Structure 1
Amino acid sequence: MSTCGPKMKMDPTLHRDKKPSWIKVRLPNNPAFWSTKSLITDLKLVTVCEEAQCPNRWECWGQGTATFMIAGDKCTRACGFCAVKTARPDALESDEPDRVAEATRRMNLRHVVITAVARDDMKDGGAEHFQKTIEAVRAANPGIIIEVLVPDFNDRDWALSMVMDARPHIFNHNLETVERLTPLVRSRAKYQRSLTVLKKAKAMANGNVSTKSGMMLGLGERHDEILRSMDDLLEHDVTVLTLGQYLRPTPKHLPVVDYVTPEKFDEYKAIALEKGFRHVASGPLVRSSYHAADFRPELDVLEAIESDLRAAKGLEIGPEHLQIPAPKDGMIQAIA
């Protein structure tokens, strides 16, 4: 495993092999799990749920949701935390956007998350493929909330603008860790560049997009560094934050330095909300896409996006035309 940037070492004696009692994975016991798995197999789709060994995949698939990973299953980066394969990627599949769109239609999704491996082998980093997938999903499933979880596209503005021109409702790019640990944890990525990408995405949509980022805890970060990262994200116009426990995929990946207690995650959530984040998901098994639909983008964001899309087609729009999903029970209280 290789990383870029200055060489950094962690004390291996700090690593804990035995997981605490609160790290529990729920096995499938719902017919919807097998239905979702069958559909994904039938359409020859890749999910980050499986590739990244997400601990929640049994639960999410059991609820009929999945996070689709486009542009292949081989990443050009070798991050110290990630279970996705690092290898020379295959060529893009031109029909993949339509297959993802068909999956959202069959699953009757109201909220979809689309992510991708880092494609540094391509000039646009896979941005056009994101654009085509967003457009195909919207055409097949009007009214769906579209969330993208993207790589940094090496901070190429023209590539980022291709994604934003497709008007996703939620733009997610993970900071992953605090600034000090970034060279160790994230291959080729840069802390400041990730912040810049988030801010640019918001600006490219004239503010009409919800921006989201997430961090893993338990890699050796300090309390003050976590708070500093929260402030940095807020300063770069991020409104949604996820915090979860890092779990070591294999012995070749970075060790777990500490298992953060559920109480500590609750404390960080309270701090983040007090600082000004609009929505925070914080817990040991929280991941970027976990219960993603629990967050409902701001109404003005939805209205602006739908209005712009209809205007581009020469259609007039009024509030009565908006296909805006109603919030779940208790959602307003959770977001407030």
Structure 2
Amino acid sequence: MVVKPDWLRVKAPQWERVGNVKDILRDLGLNTVCEEASCPNIGECFNAGTATFLIMGPACTRACPYCDIDFEKKPQALDPTEPSRLAEAVRRMKLNHVVITSVNRDDLADGGASQFVRCIEETRAVSPHTTIEVLIPDLCGNWEALEIILRSQPEVLNHNTETVPRLYRRTRPQGNYDRTLELLKRCREFAPWVYTKSGIMAGLGETDAEIRQVMQDLRGVDCDILTIGQYLQPSQKHLQVNDFVTPEQFAAWQAFGEEIGFLQVVSSPLTRSSYHAEQVRELMKLYPRQRV
């Protein structure tokens, strides 16, 4: 059995608060990546009254061996009531910032872009002051679909890099490193007012030099925000952890990221792509951008 180091231990959540969030999610029939992907921060986030909503799922059309989201189930037709139910959850939870992500839906012509748009529109209708972050798949390189999402003007567009190029074939067999960078580049060109964001997992066998090169590549496409966290094996059938990266190494990556120009770098063992995502609201005050 792999023994986790002390720095990966999390505090037990206050289950009264967790239960309240879960009740809302169950009542409205919504999925969260917090639950579906076995996030280690679920207690902290649910205690804080926040969640990352997972739309168009929970079944995924890709089989990434690091991810705990189900790929064996058959994807279902999009539910036209999902956007309004998500918006109602945002209202009930009184969220200042919401993260909306999805499974990969390669079976859909637009990769699910239209469902993202409906979720954004419904959320804005009931909670106009809530800032919206979308964590999107690569849409199979359908740039028209990307523009459809951007026209709905989310404040943050997040697309995870996940790992270094050398490990893509093993870790993201249906992904493409260059396509990930191209998505973020096109986002900046089409919607310069949006805050772009990406995330990397550590502990899969990458080197420090490779992580730093990915960080430089992301800055090369003017990515604003970066998250770096420790990969944790969800089950025995998933990719094994190669090594547990020390907090000191995560701190060194954060310092390097700030040095090369990221507006924000969140780097720690327990960091995930939407961990403390609401902090972007403070970033928007420091670096305001005008929508067009």
TM superposition score category, shorter chain reference: over 0.9
1:154-233 map, 5 Å: 154-205=140-191, 207-233=192-218
The sequence identity of aligned pairs, in percent, is 47
1:1-336 map, 5 Å: 17-29=2-14, 31-87=16-72, 88-205=74-191, 207-296=192-281, 297-299=283-285, 304-305=290-291, 308=292
How many residues are aligned here?
290
User: Rg larger in 1 or in 2?
Assistant: 1
Quickly say closer, same or farther: Cα 1:76–1:301, change in 2 above 3 A. farther
CA contact (8 A) 1:26 1:56 kept: no
Q: Secondary structure at the match of 1:65?
A: coil
Unaligned runs of 5+ in 2: none
Deviation per CA, 1:212-267: give whole Å up to 9, x if none. 00000000001110110000000011010000000001111111000001111111
CA contact (8 A) 1:169 1:302 kept: no
Q: Secondary structure at the match of 1:188?
A: coil
TM-score (norm: length of structure 2):
0.96
Q: Secondary structure at the match of 2:11?
A: coil
Cα distance in 2 between the residues matched to 1:300 and 1:23: 31
Q: Secondary structure at the match of 2:31?
A: coil
Cα distance in 2 between the residues matched to 1:208 and 1:52: 30
Deviation at 1:301, TM superposition (A): 7.5
Cα distance in 1 between the residues matched to 2:38 and 2:289: 36
Cα distance in 2 between the residues matched to 1:270 and 1:301: 19
Deviation per CA, 1:170-203: give whole Å up to 9, x if none. 0000000011111111131000100000111121
Cα distance in 1 between the residues matched to 2:185 and 2:284: 17
Cα distance in 2 between the residues matched to 1:302 and 1:22: 35
Q: Secondary structure at the match of 2:6?
A: coil
CA contact (8 A) 1:29 1:62 kept: yes
Unaligned runs of 5+ in 1: 1-15, 309-336
